[in-house]
Structure 1
Amino acid sequence: MVSNPFFVDDAKVDRMAEVRIKIQSDPYQEKVRYYSWHGYWREITTSTNPGSGLLGERLVRGFFPFKAEEIVETISKEFGDGGRIQLVFEGSDDEWQELNAICSEGPYASSFDAQRGECYLSNARDVLPEIIEVFKEIQPLVDDAISERRKVSDKIAKFTDVSSDIIPLCVLGNYSAGKSTFINALIGMEILPNGDEPVTARVFQIKRSKDRDRAIIQFSFGDRHYLLRFDLDGLMVNRDFAGDPFYDDLVSKTAQAGTSMAAQMNSALKTLNSYRQSEDGRRISDLISIEVPFSDTDPWPHDREFVIFDTPGSNSASNADHARVLREAMEGLSNGLPIFVAEYSSLDSTDNKKLYQEIEQIPAIDERFAMIVVNKADSADLPKGGFDDDEIGQIMHWSIPSTFTDKAFISSHRFSVWVRRTRANS
């Protein structure tokens, strides 16, 4: 940590608040430490504060912004006595912004004063570009020096993956929950088949096309690799495959869908999904790669590359081995964001425990950042004014939210709302 020129004046603060608590966060080690003021900063430990909720594993380790409000709530319960509490924070600027927002607005604004401490950390996103450039310069020397040391080599490979600009989004959930519809809305084009029956029998890997008027679908059938190219009018026939019965049949069915990129891609994917196995034992690959233009009206950042994975339903037998396929497809990626799509009426179902266990075993997926999107909320007769705190508490203790994450996004024609364990942000 380095010194902060806007550090807290201890003597001045003593006159402002009777209770002072310091939060010291290290996002790089994912550790949080707590101190209370007794004329000096004394660390809060099991010896000094036995039974303190701040010392639970959840509030000591992990990603600070996700637990900042729970930390403030715990401090309020344990140290609040009707007066104001002075919070001193040492950590990164992004973490400080989250904490300051919690203490300056909403239910805690009247009982907390938050200030930056004399030490702080630079945000990872601010220093990472420079670190990557330095790493690229020295990597040839490092590779030569550690070629025989597998453990070091693996760690360097991991850093290369983590520092990549590729952001994987892994969409999971039961069939008919609306995963494909959700992805179609994300990219702004109806390319993925959707319906009440299982429509995704394979893992779809979707990337943003470099050209606004071009798209491709890649897959294998038996030992032959196929590449379907599309322009704005639809499928561009590839003469290299002319005379191939499988390809000719696919082209014929695709052409019946109309003359547009989206309609013909949708038809081609529906045909591939429905195909099982030829008489001679050939089958379509479990992974289908797609490149398609993303919506230019939605705020997709153009300095990042996104890869979306659409998976078979967790309660579908159409591809029982999809976890293996997904793991192989995400090889070389990291920090994957799992997005679980569910219907409001099924949030308390327990048939996704196995799916969560599978997710935990995929190195490229970071379950800490799991998100739940509640689909088809219009049919759930939700309250017009949104949820109160008791209703939010009940929702977040249902089976799926309590297993996967502490936050969910619920959308209907009446309202859209983020719900978390302790508050909702509309």
Structure 2
Amino acid sequence: MQVTETLNEGLKRSYTITVSAAELDAKVQEKLVEAQPEIEIKGFRKGKVPLAILRKQFGQRLLGDAMQDAIDGAMREHFEATGHRPAMQPDVKMTNEDWKEGDDVVVAMSYEALPEIPETDLSVVTLERLVVKAEAEAVEDALKNLAETAQSFEDKEGAAAEGDQVVIDFLGKVDGEAFEGGAAEDYPLVLGSNSFIPGFEAQLVGAKAGDEVNVNVTFPQEYGAKHLAGKDAVFECKIKAVKGPKAAEINDDLAKQFGADSLEALKTQIAERLEAEYNGAARAVLKRALLDQLDEMVKFDLPPSLVEAEAKQIAHQLWHDENPEVHDHNHGEIEVKDEHKTLAERRVRLGLLLAEVGRKAEVEVTDAEMTQAVLAQARQYPGQERAFFEFIQKNAAMQQQLRAPIFEDKVVDHIVAGAKVTEKEVSKDDLQKAVEALDQM
């Protein structure tokens, strides 16, 4: 077996791999000897079929396997000897297309090698972690919001306003005929909740108890019941009561509704939850600052194929962000612009750097962490969790998509742990401004 370098330019590499006919023949013979003990042919006992007969019967079939094994082995030995790691799957093809049994096999292999990542002293990284305490005012605001969600309704005099609850009997008709599911009695409807067909609730604003109101609406074209989609309808409504909202009192009883033993315990829980949210936002700011520093500190050649693929992905994603009405990929080719390439270079550089830091630090994503990630994704498909789990188990690409961000965050934590980090206490508004600034970069 012979490997000859034909291109060495930057990160681009090309080689010619020659597997001699004798080596192929030896591989076929090896496979025949390996299979002989299990083969039984009429006239011969199991395991006693002569190799010459096996070669005649199975030789052609094994030749293709032997050829693939020889090429795979040559590539494996090449990467072990050179230490190269291809950026993407190598391009491999036979050059002697008129090959016939007895000829040498000549294969051309080309790829882009991942670059050598320069040693970097990450201990010189300096970062500032923003710290926000849960202020009493924020806790009180959160308590008021909880009280509103636990609100009740009390009878009120006068006309119904948005936010009020009306208790109604209604009967819906299309073309003068009542339809199934279009009637109810004593139905409590909160005006402004948008729980009914668009336009329905607005026509009840101003109604009083005892009023009878005909509500005219048009079912949406995408309405679930196909026989009603796009149809005009009239709902005959009788207003039986108008009720105004009353927020729950902020006391121990409210706390118990939300699983706390007392109001003070609920306040503590709210403060902890708020600070957890603040910490999450502050970590995003810290991570961006770290990545910005790393991007400036470390420079190396990038595989053009990775940058090109990433730039296309960025352009594609941004196009869909700007055209949210398009849910498929039936659109023309999307132009890759300079700003896409610049962002792609940053992402590829940082991705390779973090991967190398993680490799040297032996950072790993545990099975438990992967299980948690799959569970979090599965919750987006209620009732189909088992099918989602099975899909992930069979899809290596999806597993990598889930593993990659976990790995990146663990590497970031590893770098931050060895960096010089100072804390700065700021207000909630200052933190919010810092988070908003991330989207403007």
Would the TM-score normalized by the shorter structure come out above 0.5? no
TM-score by length of 1: 0.21
Higher helix content, 1 or 2? 2
Of structures 1 and 2, the larger Rg is shown by 2
TM-score by length of 2: 0.21
